A and B are shown apart, each in its own frame.
Chain A
Amino acid sequence: MPDNSMSNTISPEPVVFRARGVTKVYDMGEVKVHALRGLDMELYAGEMVVLLGPSGSGKSTLLNILGGLDTATSGHVSYHGRDITGAPDKELTEYRRFHVGFVFQFYNLIPSLTALENVAVVTEIALEPMDPAEALRLVGLGNRLDHFPAQLSGGEQQRVAIARAVAKNPDVLLCDEPTGALDSATGIVVLEVLERVNRELGTATVLITHNADIAGMADRVIYLSDGLISRVHRNERKKSPHELRW
């Protein structure tokens, strides 16, 4: 359903996230670090957005605020029209639990659980989850269900993390440097999985990277520098991950 309050005329899709005047100031004792300086943005349902920017540009801070892991110093973030700025911890936990899928640079798998169990740990508490085995098959790990993280390669571990993120059927997938710890060939396999999830499940995906080559696979590329959006670019033709090189 189109949101009439939306000023955007480019996309007819409903808005998942809307950020208005978001600032984030870290108090580091003597100095104050301004990570975000009044940023505005939207994320639309089903789209794949790449947030591109150098270290310190504020992209992780933005992702953490969108994901309910951090709170903005000022401004507002709404999720499906619901303001999540200043929500209590309990509400944010519920928000992360039911609506957001996270993928991290260092996978953050539970080493004592198998691939299947790492997914099940999330589906056990989700509302309408996928079958964990199915989620793993989706990421191409149908034959590694009973392997522990220590028995999986970095790329495989990241794919388990993706399966874990999507298995709860989230509205949005937030990926922070998902290929940061991987070599390029493995990274591309991981990106293919993210692209497939986005395409097949229609999960809105935000992917943080400082690797400009990855931007080719996005619907939109948002360039961040110094805590502000410097440029938004819409790819007329999305590249498939296997066309990417770095």
Chain B
Amino acid sequence: MKGQALAIALIIASGVATFIMSVSTMQSLKLTQETFYEDYRFADVFASLKRAPESLQTRIREIPGVDRVETRVSAAVNIDIPDFPDPVTGNIISIPDIGESLLNKLFLREGRLTEAFRDDEVVIGEAFAGAHGFKPGDKLGVIINGRRRDLTIVGIALSPEHIYQMPPGAFFPDFERYGVMWMGRTALATAYDMKGAFNDVTLTFSSNADVNDVIERLDELLKPYGGLGAYSRKDQLSHRYLSEEFKQLEQMAAMFPVIFLGVAVFLLNVVISRVIHMQREEIAVLKAFGYSNFDIGMHFVKLVLMIVSTGVIAGITGGGRLGEWMSNIYMEFYRFPFLKYELQPEIIIIAALVSAAAAILGTLHSLRKAALLPPAQAMRPEPPATYRETLPEQLGLKRLLSQPTRMIIRHIGRRPVKSLLSVTGIAFACAIMMVGSFQGDALDFMVYVQFGLSQREDIAVTFVEPTSGRALYELQSLEGVEYGEVFRTVPARLRFRHRSYRTAIQGLKSGGDLQRLLDADLKPIDLPRSGIVLTDHLGEMLGVREGDRLTVEVLEGRRPVLTVPVAGLVSQYLGVSAYMNLSALNRLMHEGNAVSGVYLATDSRYLPGIFKKLKEMPRVAGTGIREKAIAKFYETMGETILIFTLINTLLAGIIAFGVVYNSARIALSERSRELASLRVLGFTRGEISYILLGELSIFTLAAVPLGFLIGRGMCAYIAANLKTDLYRVPLILEADTYAFAAAVVLVCACISGLIVRRKLDHLDLIAVLKAKE
């Protein structure tokens, strides 16, 4: 009983711990985010434009619903870091020459802000500083507007605007190759030819603002100045990704604790009913002495609560620690300046109440039976259990079965529901194990599809602004470049009926080899000559099908609003994009042969030389390196989902062991009399072990395929729900995932079997001869 109670308490502890961990991590991250947003005045609306005179600010402020407005200068720059060969790009944002920013204030981790009107000082983002080990006082070469400047780092800071830092056009953060930094307004404006002007504006709403109206009016004001379309927080990159990640955490937080608690309740029910069965005589004696039904009921309620509270307390302690640990990892990853980890008492109370209620409800039937057992009946020995031949025996298999084998299958057949529940319990353990490795399988597959089938270039070079297609020839002439394909990126808002999504349309060459689109079966398809092709996830979000006519609001240049037919949907697990034939896109934009960048296939031996050359090209805004992108992908996913699932896999192992061990122990207690009788009749230890472990083996073997089914279902559920703009998880389960799950369950079964087998060696043969059933 001690071992069983401990196993159940462990499972409850696992459930409670997952719950506490997920919910407290969630709440802490959200609280941290809210606090950071509020204290550091995260803006409500953001807009970029080509260039507008500072005087426009007054008119923006006059828009009804606008509270505070701050104009800024923002510059895409190339950064030169000695001893770091890869191209590094960044974004320098202006801060007021004197005093703090009005909006999106900086949290200074180290050092200070730039001194008034100093043009050689810079504050850099903590993530970037951390990746390169920069300290205040270090120097940095930055190429602004084609001119190199040597800047001294004076401070290291964090901004609510850049919690999640993504290089433009990338799928994942890359702290080494992309940095956000801040300079005094005058210094930056001078360097970037923005004196008395701005190219970026953020604002906050007053309390009664009409969000869409403000954005529309702002867009109207900025349009003549090359506005790229204003957007609210929900479209702000950092905020959006953060929200998506939180959403996903929430889903995980809901699923696992439910499974853990369900399994724990089932085990409790089985164990308690067995305990009551074995203690019927004691119950009868107590009743004969005058204990009331209520007293007896309470006795067992206390037993249940004792097991539950052990589990809950362990779960809360462990969950709190795991939560803090997880929160710290997330904090590191998201770059919050501080962590407000809080384990709210409500969560603890909910965890305790839910566990206790579930346990009591789950054991209610057995508890009632114990309470209502008439004393005289309880004192009488129970009549022999009723058995009958099982179906396989009736079908004629009986002759083939030895008596011990018949004992096994009839025992299973006598209580089919209980047997099924035992099998289901083990199956769930197997299933949870699969969920753990599924994420890994899916990751590998996503990488294979994205970087193996679709995105095959070695380097993606993006230009500061659209450039003539002739740039291709310049790049192709570099030593080591084998082949190149141009592409065009146009920021746009896609609208279909009431739904809209802000993204970029990628113009690609038809028949290109470096950037291929894949159909539902992941076969490369040719980009249609006309019409727009959407990522399947985007199609789903907009609710469009092939042939629908999509409204495309271009957010660049003349900002035309066009109607383009949807020519098809393509499979893509990462990011959200729309694609068009390059010539068709240029025609729509009324731009001749404009390109935003070039995909290059290179000979890897020449990469350092190519990078060096690229760094020297002022028009190159960014360089994406495929190999690095893959590494980043694993790193990113590794630090988020995988840690979570690793913990769950560990806990699933506990479930697997708990369920199997309990099944074995219950079988032992149910059959010890029979087995001892057989020992007396001359059966060897091995022979009686066969009877007991045979049942356990059948349960385990039946549970594994069922567990595969349930596991696949759970993975399908996750895959269906883990759809974020960042990535969609395909339902991919490799053979080794199945094998691993089955192996863990089988190992648990073997260990449990061994423990039980040892107990069989110490069966009291004499006691059973004297005892009534």
Contact = CB atoms under 8 A, between A and B. Distances in A.
Contacts of B682: 93-98, 100, 122, 125, 168
Contact of B681 (A96, A106, A111, A150): A96
A24 to B, nearest CB: 11
A14 B386 CA distance: 45
B430 to A, nearest CB: 28
Interface stretch (B160-168, B524-532, B534-542, B762-770): B762-770
Contacts of B679: 93
Contacts of A105: 769-770
B388 A121 contact: no
B681 A97 contact: yes
Given A69-B765, A93-B684, A106-B772, A112 B678 contact: no
A108 interface: yes
B661 to A, nearest CB: 24
Interface string B583-606: 000000000000000000000000
A149 B384 contact: yes
B678 A121 contact: yes
A223 interface: no
B387 A112 contact: yes
A110 to B, nearest CB: 6
Given A111-B385, A148-B386, A96 B772 contact: no
A182 interface: no
Contacts of A121: 403-404, 678, 681
Given A106-B773, A148-B386, A150-B383, A112 B406 contact: yes
A64 interface: yes
Interface stretch (B127-135, B407-415, B553-561, B568-576): B407-415
A104 B677 CA distance: 10
B443 to A, nearest CB: 49
Interface residues of A, number: 37
A70 interface: yes
Nearest to B674: A110
Nearest to B389: A114
Contact of A176 (B677, B684, B769): B769
B680 A110 contact: no
A108 B768 contact: yes
Contacts of B402: 124
Interface in A93-144: 93-98, 100, 102, 104-106, 108-113, 117, 120-122, 124-125
B480 to A, nearest CB: 77
B717 interface: no
A18 interface: no
A70 B384 contact: no
B766 A108 contact: no
Contacts of B325: none
Contact of B677 (A100, A108, A120, A125): A108
B417 to A, nearest CB: 17
Kindly name the residue among B681, B684, B766 whose own CB sees the greatest number of chain A CB atoms within 10 A.
B681
B683 interface: yes
A164 B677 CA distance: 12
A124 B388 contact: no
A28 to B, nearest CB: 14
B678 A110 contact: yes
Contacts of A94: 682
18 contacts: A60-B770, A69-B765, A69-B766, A93-B682, A94-B682, A97-B682, A106-B381, A106-B770, A108-B677, A110-B677, A112-B407, A113-B387, A113-B403, A113-B407, A125-B683, A148-B388, A150-B384, A176-B769
The 8 closest A-B pairs by CB, nearest first: A97-B682, A121-B403, A108-B677, A112-B410, A96-B682, A111-B384, A149-B384, A112-B387
Given A64-B766, A93-B682, A104-B769, 10 more contacts: A69-B766, A94-B682, A97-B682, A98-B682, A108-B768, A112-B414, A113-B407, A121-B681, A125-B683, A150-B383
